[in-house]
């Protein structure tokens, strides 16, 4: 399958879409391998932090796009948590079909104005736009367990900005190492009824398997996962090196990590589909 727009990857109502963050080329290869095993569409996400790690968007962005184009399942490529309109423009020029513009650090009116401007520019090029309400950042931001998105405010934000998807706060936190988050499922259902665009769950690494399925059944569409894959990747590297202290060829321990991530992606996608 060729690289597809996010609108095509989102697919049928009632079915979740897994969106996984890429750090290195091996992550992208593993995510696609897992999606091919599961026989389901997937999203490859490149975050602003990933861009900073590589020093520029083009090297990792072009690699991710190449992996997507060679996939046997539909793959969308998405820029995650971009706080700069300039970076959004780079991603669009490179061929990304979807971006998340995160102006949530701004006051509400400024967030609306900035997001609406970016959305209009992206839509002119056929690019899908995700946004977010509230303050952002780690466990202490909008996705701290106590934070909640108001359905009426969310609906108003979408109407004012024209975005195609909205990340909402329903009990998750970014960068969770434990999987014990308690989701506000009734709120997800109310948001689904109030907001006319797909809902996005950030911080999904902290959510237990059964709650991920329940979130999709209550109205979540795009499920973002990063930390859980990093845990699996790092664990596999540690295990491989511990088993062979003389090992120096990165292909042998990074390859083990790639295989482990592919297996975890396939497992999670079956849970997220919720059909």
Using alpha carbons, list the distances in angstroms from residue 133 to 76, 100, 153, 154.
23, 12, 9, 7
Using pLDDT thresholds of 50, 70 and 90, give the confidence band for residue 137: very low
What is the arithmetic mean of pLDDT over 153-178?
84
Q: Is the pLDDT of residue 275 over 80?
A: no
Check pLDDT > 60 for residue 80: yes
Give which of 14, 20, 38 is closest to 202, Cα–Cα: 20
Task: For residue 42, give the nearest of 69, 76, 4, 8 by alpha carbon.
Answer: 76
Rounded Cα–Cα distance for residues 213 and 34 (Å): 18
Cα–Cα–Cα angle for 18, 20, 26, rounded to 5 degrees = 135
Residue 208 has pLDDT above 60, yes or no: yes
- Stretch 217-226: mean pLDDT: 94
Look up 184 and say whether it is catalytic: no
| More confident of the two residues 274 and 123 | 123
pLDDT value at residue 3 = 94
CA angle 140, 100, 162 (to 5 degrees): 110
Domains of the chain: 6-273 (3.20.20.70)
pLDDT at 174: 63
Cα separation, 11 vs 237, whole angstroms: 35
Q: Which pLDDT score, from 0 to 100, does residue 105 have? A: 83
Confidence bin at 249 (pLDDT 50/70/90)? very high
Phi/psi at 50 (5° precision): -65, -40
pLDDT at 134: 60
Q: What is the DSSP letter of 254?
A: H
- Of all helices (H) and strands (E), which one includes residue 115? helix 108-124
Q: Show Cβ contacts of residue 180 under 8 Å, excluding neighbours closer than 6 positions.
A: 206, 208
Q: Is 109 helix (H, G, I), strand (E, B) or coil?
A: helix
Tokens of 230: 């990093």
Cβ atoms of 185 and 165 within 8 Å: the answer is no
Strand ranges in 27-135 using DSSP code E only, listed in sequence order: 42-47, 75-82, 98-101, 128-132
Residue of 20, 45, 50, 23 lying closest to 35 (CA atoms): 20
Identify the CA nearest to 6 among candidates 72, 74, 66, 87: 74
* Average pLDDT of the residues of the chain: 90
Active-site pick, 80, 102, 164, 184: 80
| CA proximity to 97, closest of 138, 141, 129, 70 | 129
For 52, other C-beta atoms within 10 Å of its C-beta total: 11
Look at 39 and 11; give whichever has higher pLDDT.
Answer: 39
The pLDDT of residue 140 is 45
Q: Are 145 and 173 in contact (CB under 8 A)?
A: yes
Structure tokens at 168: 């909402």
| Cα distance between residue 168 and residue 136, in whole Å | 11
pLDDT computed for residue 176 by the predictor: 58
């Amino acid at each position: 399958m060729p690289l597809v727009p996010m609108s095509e990857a989102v697919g049928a109502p009632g079915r979740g879409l897994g969106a996984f963050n890429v750090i290195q080329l091996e992550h992208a290869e593993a995510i696609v391998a897992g999606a091919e095993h599961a026989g389901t569409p997937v999203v490859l996400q490149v975050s602003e932090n990933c861009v900073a790690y590589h020093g520029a968007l083009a090297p990792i962005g072009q690699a991710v796009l190449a992996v997507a184009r060679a996939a046997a399942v539909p793959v969308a490529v998405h820029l995650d948590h971009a706080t700069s309109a300039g970076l959004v423009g780079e991603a669009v020029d490179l061929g990304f079909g979807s971006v998340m513009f995160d102006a949530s650090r701004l006051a509400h009116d400024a967030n609306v104005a900035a997001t609406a401007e970016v959305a209009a520019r992206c839509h002119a090029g056929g690019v899908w736009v995700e946004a977010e309400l509230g303050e952002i950042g780690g466990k202490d931001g909008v996705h701290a367990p106590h934070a909640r998105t108001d359905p009426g405010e969310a609906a108003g934000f979408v109407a004012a900005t024209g975005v195609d998807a909205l990340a909402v706060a329903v009990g998750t936190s970014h960068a969770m190492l434990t999987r014990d988050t308690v989701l506000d499922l009734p709120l997800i259902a109310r948001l689904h009824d109030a907001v006319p665009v797909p809902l996005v769950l950030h911080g999904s690494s902290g959510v237990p398997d059964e709650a991920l399925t329940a979130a999709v059944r209550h109205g979540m569409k795009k499920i973002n996962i990063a930390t859980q894959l990093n845990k699996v990747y790092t664990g596999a590297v540690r295990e491989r090196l511990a088993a062979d202290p003389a090992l120096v060829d990165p292909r042998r321990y990074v390859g083990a990590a790639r295989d482990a991530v592919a297996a975890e992606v396939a497992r999670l996608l079956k849970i997220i589909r919720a059909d």
